Amino acid sequence: MPKVHNYSAGPCILPQEVFEEASKAVLNYNNSGLSILEMSHRSKDFVAVMEEARDLVKEILEVPDGYTVLFLQGGASLGFLVSAYNMMGENKKGGYINTGAWAKKAIKEADFMGESVLLASSEDKNNNYIPKGYSIPDDIDYLHYTSNNTIFGTQFKDIPETNIPLVCDMSSDIFSKKIDVSKFDIIYAGAQKNLGPAGTTLYIVKDSVLGNSSVDIPTMLNLKTHADKDSMFNTPPCFAIYTAMLTLRWLKKNGGLDWIEKRNEEKSALLYSEIDNNPLFEGTAAKEDRSSMNVTFVLTDESKAEEFDKMWNEEKINGLKGHRSVGGYRASMYNALPLESVQVLVNVMKKLALQIA
């Protein structure tokens, strides 16, 4: 089958070797005679998978002592609620930075057990920038932000400076670059961007958070419940965790975050350079806040849309259409997308410009 260049915003593209190894495990895992899909999550084989996946997270991200790594379920959409429940302190207030659809949903969830305080918003310009220069009050229990915005193509380049406990939804850029985990109380991330298939959610939680919320938490939403049971309070999403483990092995083998950050910078620089220099295209995000994961752009001449769509489809480019709230195009360039695929898209853009020259 001809190669497909997968720019889908999620579920993500994964390394080919991960697909190959995972397919073997579906038929017979570790010569056990059982599929990874059917073996007990209490078996030695799967317990070893869970332990390796956690250890790889700690190693690759350099997670310091005093943190617990969990593989749970529910995606970031449940994480919006889980993080608020577990972080509510005596003030019962959480501070939020609204940078788009997912941040806005997180804000809504905080109001179920406390009060969300809007610290800053980029809604005034259709979320095409990251707010700056906002003040952080002393009477909030935590500050929550979304590190990368898949729909609008913006990304925090720096961690907010604050003495307030920090919570971050890193679903779409975790493992894409180095981060200082020690600055966060909770990091959560749906796996389906850079880590693995949809089905599991990674949590990295400071141990001092566990069991210290000032509100009553339903059992399944209490992170201490899952920490006490090593992510196995209920049956975990075994295959998603196994595939995440394979992806982390791939990342480590190739050079870890130093390698992948450089590779991601090369991909984004190549595409943004074409957008900025090709008169037929224009980026939608503020240049200083452009995402390296999700590149959003539009045609300057909409009459060329039909021809452009035909051209990139002929080159077997998949998932390039922008979200309906932004329009235009969105090139999601997660870790496993090769530079070759970016070059194919750039070549199409150059070819379109040559046709009108």
User: Nearest CA to 89 among 164, 160, 184, 183?
Assistant: 164
Gyration radius from the chain CA atoms: 21
Contact present, 191 and 198 (Cβ < 8 Å): yes
Number of CB atoms found within 10 A of residue 349's CB: 22
Number of CB atoms found within 10 A of residue 334's CB: 26
Beta bridge partners of 121: 98
Beta bridge partners of 158: none
Indicate the burial class of 253 (C-beta count within 10 angstroms; 0-12, 13-18, 19 or more): exposed
CA distance 264 to 8: 16
φ, ψ dihedrals at 310, nearest 5°: -65, -40
ω into 11 cis (within 30 of 0): yes
The catalytic residue positions are: 102, 169, 193
Kindly give, in sequence order, each residue whose CB lies less than 8 Å from that of residue 244, ignoring residues fewer than 6 positions away: 53, 71, 191, 195, 196, 200, 202
* Tokens of residue 58, six digits: 């700690």
Beta bridge partners of 186: 167, 205
